[in-house]
Chains A and B, each alone.
Chain A
Amino acid sequence: MTKELLKGNVAIAEAALRAGLEAYFGYPITPQTELLEHLSRRMIELGRVFLQAESEIAAIHMVYGAACTGARVMTSSSSPGFSLMQEGLSYMAGAEIPCVIVDVMRGGPGLGNILPSQSDYFQVTRSAGHGDFRPIVLAPASVQEAIDFTGLAFDLAEKYRHMVILAADGLIGQMMEPAELPAMRAVRRGERPAWATTGAMGRARNIISSIYMQAEEEEGYNLKIQKRLRQIAQAEQRCAEHMTEGAVLLVVGYGTAGRVAYTAVEAARKAGMKVGLLRPQTLWPFPERRLSELADNVEGCLVVEMNAGQMVDDVRLAIGGQIPVSFYGRMGGVVPMPEDVLTTIETEYRRLAQAVPSNRWTKEALC
């Protein structure tokens, strides 16, 4: 396989069908529409199911139905459309049905705009529907990572019988980059899990429901789900690091914000500042274990996001007040420039040096 120039949305769509996607249901919304358009051609060519639904609400319930047959199923949307899907996501969480949802995030609240944003962090990690559950959330920072995480998303969904959200900001969805697609995986048509509702032929019937009328039963189900979520939280924390060795200031950012921060951190290092980057690749489970380790060795933390400060809550929870945590963010579809992040790094670096005198500082960099 060789690298080719691919648009993020198209790359995710192609990666999904190469991961054995059997059915896609979706509704047009910018900035994810190329994903739907690509699959409208490719899924039909391959004799698989593609259906443009009448709404995001219908799309997610078509996904729910199709996933009940044990098939690999996906939908995609962007922030306001994702909000509409919360009903179906909650039902799927209540019925242990695996599926993959792509959220190409845009500016909000309300109709907002179609520009890149990370305003759905709360929505995807905390409020993907009513009830006690958290989806697995993967956050790519490049087209290549979007491709790799798409395949991973299906594997994790089926491993844990849980939903996986690929949370890409609008820039990841819209930009073109050289990337390599995986080989085509076979569709497992005919192989269905034992719980699937495919007709009770020669076996006892299967029922897929999220109803437990007795309080103790409902609590019992919740305890089961919570146990599984703890397993996921233990096993699936993922993050990337850059120049964290010997850093005194740790920058934390994901997706496009993480990429902008990467450039800023490199520039800061060149200027002699001991700065490193932690880029969460899973937003839930949040990579708190690694962040907590790093927090033992740095003096401060700067969180960079394309929102008003949402992931910063998780950073603070992971760090537990050990070190000061500051925040830099742009909203409404504004993508921060590396220079802006660098300026913030310089300010934070200087402030920390004054607040926490330490022989670990490179004094020259502060002058």
Chain B
Amino acid sequence: MAERTAQTESEDRVPGMEAVYEHPRTLNKVVTHYCPGCTHGIGQRLVAEALDELGLRERTILVASVGCSVFVYNYFDVDAVQAAHGRAPAMATGIKRLEPDRIVLTYQGDGDMASIGLAEVVHAAVRGEKITTIFINNAIYGMTGGQMAPTSLPKQQTTSSPFGRDVRLTGNPLRMSELLAGLDGSAYIVRRSLHDARNVLKAKKAVLTALKVQMHGLGFSMVELLSSCPTNWGLSPEESLKWIENEMIPYFPLGDYKVADEVAAL
């Protein structure tokens, strides 16, 4: 995986032409390890753009998690640490308490956050930790090859629920945004989707707001992003985007689950 740090100015700028779309400064120019059609890359780009726009790159400490998001530290040109499975919010807590004027971000998937790391994220939110969590929900364990996640849909076939998720045996999918929104320490909890351009733009605005919540020290912020996993869903990239829209969104409705008064006033 060759790595090249992004340059401050676009290398390909043409004289007399205005740049309207550029590689984000915060995003390293490297090939990612994500599968074709995976929307992780879009989520990452949104975060990088938001950090650029708010001028936060040099002040940010990114906490990578375990799962497909494990290598995010390779992709962002920011200081980064790599947490154990599920423990990113605890690690982010430690960093933020020592460096309160820095921006501390966790980037976690559904297995990492909603299963093994549930206690850590809930208590980080309970304490109102001034950190921001980007939660990639693709309803499956991607990195280990497609096992059932806490967010897998009823009847969803995975490599560990080969007959489809039987909710009588495994319970129903966990809705993280709804759960965390019920906690007083949460300042901004929203769910967005990455399945089409309109929703991607909405997701970008949410990431910007979440970062502003942290800049103003208003409490815990999380943006849940419904994301695709064509490889492990066994669908084409295009079918995967439709699956988000038709199968995931009905179970995980998009919307703002917690917007504290101070956040609304931003």
Contacts and interface: CB of A to CB of B under 8 A. Distances in A.
B75 to A, nearest CB: 11
A197 B97 contact: no
A201 to B, nearest CB: 4
Interface in A204-220: 204-211
A69 interface: yes
Given A58-B90, A205-B78, A66 B95 contact: yes
Interface in A46-72: 49, 51, 53-55, 57-59, 61-69, 71
Contacts of A201: 58-59
B99 A69 contact: yes
Return the 8 tightest CB-CB contacts between A and B, nearest first.
Answer: A65-B94, A66-B94, A65-B91, A61-B90, A209-B82, A62-B94, A61-B87, A54-B123
B58 A202 contact: yes
A51 B92 CA distance: 13
B84 A87 contact: yes
Contacts of B123: 53-54, 58
30 contacts: A23-B97, A51-B93, A53-B90, A54-B119, A57-B90, A57-B120, A58-B90, A58-B119, A58-B120, A61-B120, A62-B97, A65-B81, A65-B91, A65-B92, A65-B94, A65-B95, A66-B94, A68-B95, A69-B99, A71-B98, A87-B84, A95-B82, A199-B59, A199-B78, A205-B79, A206-B79, A206-B80, A207-B81, A211-B70, A211-B71
Nearest to B119: A54
Given A61-B94, A199-B60, A200-B57, A207 B87 contact: no
B102 interface: yes
B82 A25 contact: no
Overall SS of chain A's interface? mixed
Contacts of A88: 84, 87
B91 A64 contact: yes
A65 B57 CA distance: 19
B83 interface: yes
A211 B74 CA distance: 12
B94 A67 contact: yes
B141 interface: no
Nearest to B70: A211
A25 B87 contact: no
A328 interface: no
A68 B58 contact: no
Contacts of A358: none
B222 interface: no
Chain A interface bracket (under 10, 10 to 19, 20 to 34, 35 or more): 35 or more
Nearest to A211: B82
A204 B77 CA distance: 8
Contacts of B71: 211
Contacts of A51: 93, 97
A49 B98 contact: yes
Given A61-B87, A205-B80, A208-B81, A54 B98 contact: no
Highest count of chain B CB atoms <10 Å: which of A53, A55, A61, A198? A61
A69 B77 contact: no
B92 to A, nearest CB: 6
A41 B10 CA distance: 53
Interface of B: 5, 57-61, 63-64, 70-71, 73, 77-84, 87, 90-95, 97-99, 102, 119-120, 123
Contacts of B84: 61, 87-88, 91
A197 B98 contact: no
A30 B71 CA distance: 39
B80 A197 contact: yes
Contacts of B83: 61, 64-65, 91
A198 B79 contact: yes
B97 A207 contact: no
A210 B64 CA distance: 12
B78 A200 contact: yes
A305 interface: no
A25 B124 CA distance: 14
Given A53-B90, A57-B87, A65-B90, A208 B99 contact: no
A158 interface: no
Given A197-B79, A200-B58, A205-B80, 18 more contacts: A22-B98, A54-B120, A57-B87, A64-B81, A64-B87, A65-B91, A68-B95, A71-B98, A95-B82, A197-B95, A198-B61, A198-B99, A198-B102, A199-B58, A200-B79, A201-B58, A202-B58, A206-B80
Contact of B93 (A65, A67, A87, A211): A65
Interface in A95-133: 95
Nearest to B79: A197
B137 to A, nearest CB: 22
A53 B126 CA distance: 11
